[in-house]
Amino acid sequence: VASAGCTGTAEKPGDVSGAELKSSYIVGIDGAYPPYSYVDKDGSAQGFDVDSMKWIAAKKGINVTFTAVDWDAIIPTLQAGKIDMVYAGMTITPERQEAVNFSDPYWTINQDVVARNDSNVTLDDVLAGKAILGTQRGCTAAIWIEENLIDTGKMPKANLKLYADTPAAVSDLGIGRIDAVMYDDVSLNDIVKGKPMKTIGFVETKEQFGVAIRKDDTALLAFMNEGLAELQADPYWEELKEKHNLN
């Protein structure tokens, strides 16, 4: 949906091992994960992660294009080679690390819980498994709820509603189909902005975001770690945080 950067090193034909850097890469994003990655009404990729990637690509001389993929399918899509990395607020987890490599962490978040302003559901209700909860399919909030509320027998499985993206969960919250939404704090706050909704609490998961890369693509992993370090040492990093209200 968008591209940036200029051509650098030549692509080596037939190199599928990932030991050599290519001249262009496809970056997988989530189309509805503001302010880190989203697709705007003109179909163009936007956000903190997208701008970060564009800066790294331009600085270091590669081409990148961005493709929105369903979150639930994004790791298999990476493994199948349809995208070359996931740069979209992906939490580094031990389970995901079995499937893919991660860059060095570049951000930390926790989970927020949001309800309608007119509701009296509390965080205690949520943690006792008494609320109908919504979140994005395949995200770390869904995994947290499964492990901590469902697998422990506190909450019936039917009380968890999973959506392709979080705006869809927030929309069901708005019409009373669910009692609360749990999701990455910064993104959830962005999605509910201006809606009659309130944060009722948070769960301190201290999740770290990294860029996910195929295990055999060692050249890209080294490239991204260098690029992230250069970006974080550049004044543009602070500018980007301000631009996307991440301060």
Q: Residues interacting with ligand ARG, by CB under 6 A?
A: 30, 33, 37, 71, 88-91, 136, 139-140, 184, 207
Q: Rounded to 5 degrees, what are φ and ψ at 127?
A: -70, -20
Ramachandran sector of residue 112 (left: φ over 0; alpha: ψ -120 to 50; beta: rest): beta
The dihedral over CA atoms of 54, 56, 61, 65, expressed in degrees to the nearest 10, equals -30
Q: Residue 39's closest CA among 66, 79, 76, 14?
A: 66
Shortest reach from residue 12's CB to ligand ARG, in Å: 31
Closer CB to ligand ARG, residue 140 or residue 159?
A: 140
The DSSP output letter for 150 is I
Q: Which is nearer to ligand ARG, 90 or 115 (CB)?
A: 90
The nearest distance, CB 140 to ligand ARG, in angstroms, is: 4
Q: How far is the CB of 203 from ligand ARG (least distance, A)?
A: 13
Closer to ligand ARG by Cβ: residue 55 or 183: 183
Strand locations in 133-196, DSSP E? 133-136, 160-163, 180-184
Cβ at position 71, least distance to ligand ARG in Å:
4
Report the residue number, 119 or 208, with the smaller CB distance to ligand ARG. 208
| 55/209 with CB nearer ligand ARG | 209
Strands across the sheet with 37-39, in order?
Answer: 32-33, 37-39, 45-46
Q: Which of 55, 71 has the CB closer to ligand ARG?
A: 71
What is the distance between the alpha carbons of residues 29 and 85, in angstroms, rounded to a whole number?
Answer: 9
3-class SS of residue 169:
helix
Please state, in angstroms and rounded to a whole number, the distance separating the CA atoms of residues 53 and 21. Answer: 16
What's the min distance (Å) between Cβ of 142 and ligand ARG?
A: 8
Report residue 203 as tokens: 């769960």
Q: Which residue is nearest to ligand ARG (CB)?
A: 30
CB of 150 to ligand ARG, least distance (A): 17
